[in-house]
């Protein structure tokens, strides 16, 4: 039986080993998880001085940590092709029109112009400040479709769970949320395409600005790839979802009366001419 310094030395080694395992776990990626799994399972004996290691091995053996999701072969090849084509397209643009750094201010401006948070703040502000008017009702519909778009994109991203390009810089992303660490689909593309199609469909005034809206939507979509925010298939997927959303919401667009009634309900306003007007 060891006592004194020997016990302290053993406890130090145990702490170092436990911390080492903890450090490995924190730094382990999905690709390294299987290596750590095999390493821990091959250990035949565990000392009581290593409770964290024992619990970890128990969780792995009982499957509590969950298995790594297996990507089907055809899908894996498609994603690898997408990564290569995205890198190739960015390099081609950089060689022909670059360097890309000189366009950063333009790309960031496009990113802000189609970010969900500014759109929600602006539309909500107009709804709150304006009296009953067709423009206010337009803001109500845009606010609702933005909420719908955010929910759809969040659900699809949570299911797909595709990582953003390696060169994406998370610290530069504006208003990034936890779900935005995922790449497919591009939420900016869904919003840009949806709005550029939906507004001309519902309002004649916007019809004359259709080329401008279409150009804005295309520029936003292209900038997502050149900013290394998304792969090409992320942008294509966002474009398809944006088109489908525009078609769906054009059929469920609220009339002026319905939009005003919704505002009256939430803001506790009274409708002029109604029986409850005071």
Three-state SS at 163: strand
Task: Write the CB contacts of 51 (distance below 8 Å, at least 6 apart in sequence).
Answer: 18
Active site residue 230: yes
Active site residue 115: no
CA pair distance 214, 222, nearest whole angstrom: 12
Task: Write the CB contacts of 126 (distance below 8 Å, at least 6 apart in sequence).
Answer: 135, 136, 139
Catalytic, out of 31, 115, 188, 231: 188
CA proximity to 232, closest of 175, 197, 184, 266: 184
> Which residues on adjacent β-strands are paired with residue 163?
182
CA pair distance 156, 144, nearest whole angstrom: 19
DSSP 112-124: HHT-HHHHHHHHH
Catalytic, out of 31, 115, 228, 230: 230
Three-state SS at 143: helix
Active-site residue set: 188, 230
């Amino acid at each position: 039986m060891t006592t004194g310094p020997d016990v302290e030395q053993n406890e130090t080694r145990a702490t170092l080993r436990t911390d080492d395992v903890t450090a490995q776990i924190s730094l382990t990626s999905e690709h390294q998880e299987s290596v750590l799994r095999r390493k821990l399972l091959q250990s035949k004996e565990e000392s009581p001085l290593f409770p964290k290691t024992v619990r970890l091995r128990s969780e792995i053996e009982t499957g509590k940590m969950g298995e790594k999701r297996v990507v089907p072969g055809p899908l894996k090849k498609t994603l690898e092709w997408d990564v290569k084509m995205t890198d190739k397209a960015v390099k081609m643009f950089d060689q022909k029109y670059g360097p890309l750094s000189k366009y950063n201010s333009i790309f960031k401006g496009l990113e802000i112009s189609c970010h969900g948070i500014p759109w929600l703040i602006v539309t909500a502000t107009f709804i709150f400040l304006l009296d009953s008017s067709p423009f206010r009702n337009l803001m109500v519909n845009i606010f609702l479709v933005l909420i719908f778009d955010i929910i759809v994109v969040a659900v699809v991203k949570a299911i797909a769970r595709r990582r953003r390009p390696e060169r994406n810089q998370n610290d530069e992303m504006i208003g990034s949320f936890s779900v935005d660490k995922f790449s497919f689909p591009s939420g900016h593309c869904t919003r840009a395409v949806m709005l550029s199609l939906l507004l001309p469909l519902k309002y004649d005034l916007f019809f004359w600005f259709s080329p401008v809206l279409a150009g804005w939507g295309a520029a936003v979509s292209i900038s997502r790839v050149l900013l290394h925010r998304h792969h090409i298939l992320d942008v294509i997927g966002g474009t398809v979802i944006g088109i489908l959303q525009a078609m769906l919401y054009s059929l469920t667009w609220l009339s002026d009366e319905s939009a005003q009634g919704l505002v009256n309900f939430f803001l506790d306003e009274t409708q002029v001419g109604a029986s409850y007007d005071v």
